[in-house]
Structure 1
Amino acid sequence: MQKILSIVAMLAIGQVTYAQSIDQIINATEVERIEKILSADDMQGRRTFTPGIDKAADFIAAEFKKAGLQPVKGDSWFQEFAMIKPKFLNANGTLNGNAIPEKNIVALSSQSNIKVNDKSGWTKVNIGEADTLFPVVMRLLDSRKNYFVTVHEKHGRMFNGLKRFREQSFESPSNIVLVLSNETANTYSVEFNQEITRAPLKNVVGILPGKKKKNEYVIFSGHYDHLGIGKPNEAGDSIFNGANDDASGVTAVILLAQYYAQQKDNERTLVFAAFTAEEVGGFGSKHFSEQFDPSKVMAMFNIEMIGTESKWGTNSAFITGYEKTDMGAILEKNLQGSAFKFYPDPYPDQQLFYRSDNATLARQGVPAHTISTSKMDSEKFYHTQEDEIETLDMKNMTEIIKSIAVSAKSIVAGKDTPSRVDTKQLR
């Protein structure tokens, strides 16, 4: 009996030590410190292409370095790339011997001059009346190949939306020429001319190498850009601080990096990423995702707006695309006995699973989900100047971050591997 009691006592001591360890790293004081810096007025709302976002990037990189992460490239924590801003000049072409109206031609490309015909070897795709335009186009962009696409005239309004989409675009190896027509493309020839300018961007990325499964990756991410400075509100405040959106998610990523770096027990390689340019099209996460073989990414925890209570109150959050993999079930299993609860996304009509920074990898089958508490039907300060640190619940944020750390442990340790997203359902 004494032996059994001793074992029980040792286990109890171990649990207390574990609790103290996580509380020492992830606590409300640290949450507030990081959140306050990222959402401060001197960050100028962290808009892309401003000194404010560069200042935020430097701070995040310093936190990753302090945590003991390895730089993503050489001695730099910056993953640099460019957004292109194409200016349409002119377009012309023929389809099955008939002239194509200029307004019915769109190109998604980083090249100034695109010439393609039926002898060019590009893959032909038809987006029919029953298809959905944008998901198909995004999947083609993710493929790093060249496509000639005919689009059914039913999608005319959305096709015009592609013209607005291309006003700023991600520099990608894919080239896609789209023609609005109900005809099957037998013979075709199209030339598209545009003026290209490039604007530099950077994600902030740190690596914690794994041990036995170092070639398998688990990603923790959030976006650090926001809306910048705009028209003053009635109180005279012109800065969109973005405390919840998404300084709260980046705060979580930094603290998770500190936590796992001190645990030193990750069998899989952990990647911690703060994405740029989410607010202008998700270009940061798209570039980041293209640096990985999706078959080697075991899970992605994207964290977006966790500073306010969820619709269920404190000690709760939801997971987008919960039904698409068993990752949520794994997290729930690891949280058994705790007061915290993960729920399926309560806003399915908003299609959040494919609207956040997890989307690019999810479309490639990765169990990549976004964790959030945002009440998407009633979030009072969303995209307003009032999204400031005073509106957030530091204590609840702390519990959410700790719960992510605990619930992810078996995936980080390589003991659990979530099922993959069924990509056949994406068309």
Structure 2
Amino acid sequence: MKKASIFISALMILFSCKEYTKANAQESKKLKETTEEITFNPATIKKHLYTLASDEMEGRATGTPGIEKAAQYIENEFKKIGLTYFNSNTSYRQNFEHNGIKMFNVMGVLEGKSKKDEFVIVSAHYDHLEMKKDGDGDRIYNGANDDASGVTGVIALAEYFKKKGNNERSILFVCFTAEEMGLIGSKYFGKGIDASKFVAGINLELIGKEPKTGPKTAWLTGFERSDFGKIIQKNLEGTGYKLFPDPYPKYNLFFRSDNASLARLGVPSHTFSTTPIDIDPDYHKVTDEAETLDVNVLTETIKAVAIGTTSIINGKDTPTRVTIE
């Protein structure tokens, strides 16, 4: 009788192991299929990047003709994709004035299905610095990495999720103005929303260079302040891409990009980045040109954001509210 019990137990363990292995194999296959079907065209990514960081945009400083050109480009892309206006807006612009300067955030919505009243915001800032007033040589701060790369990501993700068509939650794609002046655009936006309806904030900043964490990696600001980053890490398992906590805690980066304006309202809003900022020679320099970026890094990072945030977009996961000390 004892031998029979041992034999039955062994069979049960063997069956369980087989079922576990089978389940893992199915999950791995599903992940692989999901990863393979997510494609972003590097040529299109390059087009957005090089247009937004071109000399024609004259640095995209807030309140200048250059930023107007950038806004028009973003609006045209949102229109082609088929995004709708946010709330009661009659255009993609959220107009306001600050210190006598007329400003505007550019926003478009992809309405959700079963949870359309819950929003995920995907953002980047489309402004940069003024041109040098005088001097020889290049005087244009093109801001390719900071943050034409992020805006490129916003546009590409909008197109991807529109084609995918399975977002249970609504997605608000926003290109903020006046980030370089102190997060002015995102602060204004935050004053006019019901923060409880925003379940996550995905901000993209400086995502066009390989980080010191290695190829096919990115890092996330404020990683310890919610479980947002852990959700992303889980979704990226098996894809060959990894997400790390911010390796630059001394720079206080969590509060230095537009995610902070929403995070202060309790929204689990974090910034993705790839740039090794401690050794980057182009940050806030006229040398921040499109040619200094790696389009493949930019494309892979956008793809990773798409995969990593899918369970939040489709309503399966809800990040914990962010903690602000």
Q: Same fold (TM over 0.5)?
A: yes
Give distance in 2, aligned partners of 1:342 and 1:12: 19
After TM superposition, list the pairs within 5 Å mapping 1:160-309 onto structure 2: 198-230=100-132, 236-309=137-210
Counterpart of 1:370 (choices 259, 271, 282) is: 271
1:29 maps to which residue?
43
Q: Does 1:358 align with 2:259?
A: yes
Give distance in 2, aligned partners of 1:214 and 1:372: 28
Please identify, of 402-411 and 67-76, the stretch whose mean Cα deviation from structure 2 is larger. Answer: 67-76
Give secondary structure in 2 for the equivalent of 1:53: helix
Counterpart of 1:408 (choices 297, 309, 313) is: 309
Root-mean-square deviation (Å): 2.1
Q: Does 1:44 align with 2:58?
A: yes
Q: Does 1:60 align with 2:74?
A: yes
Q: 1:18/1:344 Cα in 2 relative to 1: closer, same or farther (>3 Å)?
A: closer
Q: Contact 1:301 / 1:371 at 8 angstroms: preserved in 2?
A: yes
Amino acid at match of 1:220: V
Give distance in 2, aligned partners of 1:326 and 1:360: 19
Q: Aligned-pair distance for 1:355?
A: 1.2
Amino acid at match of 2:51: I
Amino acid at match of 1:269: S
CA displacement 1:102-148 (0-9 Å, x = unmatched): xxxxxxxxxxxxxxxxxxxxxxxxxxxxxxxxxxxxxxxxxxxxxxx
Amino acid at match of 2:104: K
Give secondary structure in 2 for the equivalent of 1:205: strand
Q: 1:12/1:391 Cα in 2 relative to 1: closer, same or farther (>3 Å)?
A: same
Q: Aligned-pair distance for 1:354?
A: 1.0
Amino acid at match of 1:259: Y
Give distance in 2, aligned partners of 1:245 and 1:40: 13
Amino acid at match of 1:43: M
Give secondary structure in 2 for the equivalent of 1:359: helix
Q: Aligned-pair distance for 1:293?
A: 1.1
After TM superposition, list the pairs within 5 Å mapping 1:60-209 onto structure 2: 60-72=74-86, 73-84=88-99, 198-209=100-111
Q: Aligned-pair distance for 1:71?
A: 1.9
Q: Aligned-pair distance for 1:212?
A: 1.0
Larger Rg: 1
Give distance in 2, aligned partners of 1:337 and 1:243: 31
Between Structure 1 and Structure 2, the one with more strand by share is 1
Q: Contact 1:233 / 1:385 at 8 angstroms: preserved in 2?
A: no
Give secondary structure in 1 for the equivalent of 2:123: strand
Give secondary structure in 1 for the equivalent of 2:38: helix
Give secondary structure in 2 for the equivalent of 1:45: coil
2:7 maps to which residue?
none
Q: Which blocks of at least 5 consecutive residues in structure 1 are unaligned?
A: 1-9, 85-197
Q: Aligned-pair distance for 1:376?
A: 2.3
Give distance in 2, aligned partners of 1:71 and 1:417: 25
Amino acid at match of 1:348: P
Q: Contact 2:145 / 2:288 at 8 angstroms: preserved in 1?
A: yes
Q: Does 1:399 align with 2:308?
A: no
Q: 1:18/1:229 Cα in 2 relative to 1: closer, same or farther (>3 Å)?
A: same
Q: Aligned-pair distance for 1:233?
A: 6.7
TM-score, normalising length: structure 1: 0.67
Q: Contact 1:228 / 1:241 at 8 angstroms: preserved in 2?
A: no
Amino acid at match of 2:117: N
Amino acid at match of 2:75: A
1:178 maps to which residue?
none
Amino acid at match of 1:79: Q
Q: Aligned-pair distance for 1:18?
A: 4.8
Q: Contact 2:31 / 2:239 at 8 angstroms: preserved in 1?
A: no
Give distance in 2, aligned partners of 1:11 and 1:350: 39
Q: Contact 2:32 / 2:239 at 8 angstroms: preserved in 1?
A: no
Give distance in 1, aligned partners of 2:101 and 2:135: 30
Amino acid at match of 1:221: S
Q: Contact 1:319 / 1:328 at 8 angstroms: preserved in 2?
A: yes
TM-score, normalising length: structure 2: 0.88
Give distance in 1, aligned partners of 2:147 and 2:265: 24
Give distance in 2, aligned partners of 1:258 and 1:238: 33
Give secondary structure in 2 for the equivalent of 1:70: coil
Give distance in 1, aligned partners of 2:241 and 2:27: 22
Give distance in 1, aligned partners of 2:291 and 2:275: 16
Q: Does 1:344 align with 2:245?
A: yes
Q: 1:68/1:277 Cα in 2 relative to 1: closer, same or farther (>3 Å)?
A: same
Between Structure 1 and Structure 2, the one with more helix by share is 2
Q: Which blocks of at least 5 consecutive residues in structure 2 are unaligned?
A: 1-25
Amino acid at match of 2:108: G
Identity rate, percent: 48
Q: How many residues align?
A: 301
Please identify, of 216-225 and 310-319, the stretch whose mean Cα deviation from structure 2 is larger. Answer: 310-319
CA displacement 1:340-379 (0-9 Å, x = unmatched): 1110011111111111101111112110001111222111
4+ runs deviating over 2 angstroms: 10-22, 72-75, 231-234
